[in-house]
Amino acid sequence: MTHTTINVLRTIIIISSILLSFILVPIIGLYVNQTILTLAIISLIFGISTLGWNLLLGYGGMWFYGQIGVFGLSAYTYGLASRNIDPWLSFILSIIISIVSITIISLLSIRLKFAYFALATFAFNLLVSAIIIAIYPANVIFQIPRLYINIFGYRLRFDEYNSIPYYILLLLITITFLYIQKRMLNSSLGIRFIALKENENRALSLGMDPLKVRLPFVLVSVIFTSIAGSIYAQYLGSVSQSIFSLDIFIAFLTILSLGGIGTFYGPLAASILWTIIDFWLSLYIAQYKLIILSIVTIVVLMYLRSGIGGLIDLISARLMRIETMRQQIKE
């Protein structure tokens, strides 16, 4: 096999996985076990959010810790807005509010270094939580209106009895996010974005403006995280202040570390694995769940920093090396 053949096989595997996901998961959820479909939906929601975090932290070296704030702000905005306006317009509103909020925070703090930027963005989570508690003291928003699509006079509803539309929608959003992320990272802007991570002082000496380079990536991350947060509230049919809790933060952190910080597909693969583990722990030993997940995160960060994505890259690199050696021997 040549390098081109390996790349073609990798592409075929990815496309086949996507097609199988489109076909098999809904069939299994519909005819075998609804729980499988539920876990797939939750894994995609968390996967999209973690991909957004990984884009900033992994590829850009930005110590961004405002992901929970964006996720929760979008969920609450959608929950409150959807009671008064069309659910689809509520999606747009939640995205706009998240973009405006993060843009303001970014303009104020994006030039800060490392820990200072991390503290500023983490404070954003606390600020959002405090504002929501002040505006809406009631802990839970119930009975969030369901989405629907009119298709040739037939109204297709998104609800707990018909979860397949949620899954298809999330899968399409995930594929779109991965495509946009790939194009951005391979562009000249992406090269400058990564250059700022590798050697910021040298990049600045070449005339790069950190704000102009990083802000587009921040906005893309926020848009998709906002969509994930809105769908999370829509799918559950309710949203509470627990969305800002330590549970969600540890979930994001575990997925990110397990998938591999700075890897392309790692966070998505880890999200699937985490969802299964979290479901099993919640079912049998819920009282120890946070302890176990915290220990897993520490161990992975200490001994398997590249995570699942790193293992995938390592296997691909070894296959390439073996093929190169075979070509050299033939010559």
pLDDT in tens, 124-176: 888 998 888 888 877 777 778 888 787 776 777 777 667 888 888 999 999 99
- Is the CB of residue 273 less than 8 Å from the CB of residue 258? yes
Can you give the residue ranges of every domain in the chain?
A: 1-32, 33-241, 245-331
- Is the CB of residue 102 less than 8 Å from the CB of residue 224? no
Q: Is the pLDDT of residue 233 over 60?
A: yes
Q: Which of 38-52, 87-101, 148-162 has the lowest mean pLDDT?
A: 148-162
CA-based torsion, 238, 241, 244, 247: positive or negative: negative
| Percentage with pLDDT > 70 across the chain | 88
- Which pLDDT does position 222 carry in this prediction? 93
Q: Which amino acid is at 204?
A: L
CA angle, 177 as apex, 101 and 200 as ends, to 5°?
A: 65
- Residue 247: pLDDT band by 50, 70, 90 thresholds? confident
CA distance 124 to 101: 9
What are 154's strand-pairing partners?
151
- Is the CB of residue 142 less than 8 Å from the CB of residue 4? no
Helices 246-259, 266-284: axis angle to 10 degrees equals: 130
The whole-chain average pLDDT of the chain stands at 83
- Residue 2: pLDDT band by 50, 70, 90 thresholds? low
CA distance 289 to 147: 33
- Which pLDDT does position 260 carry in this prediction? 87
- Residue 241: pLDDT band by 50, 70, 90 thresholds? confident
Q: Which of 26-35, 42-51, 131-140, 268-277 has the lowest mean pLDDT?
A: 26-35
pTM for the structure as a whole: 0.87
| Residue scoring higher pLDDT (263 or 55) | 55
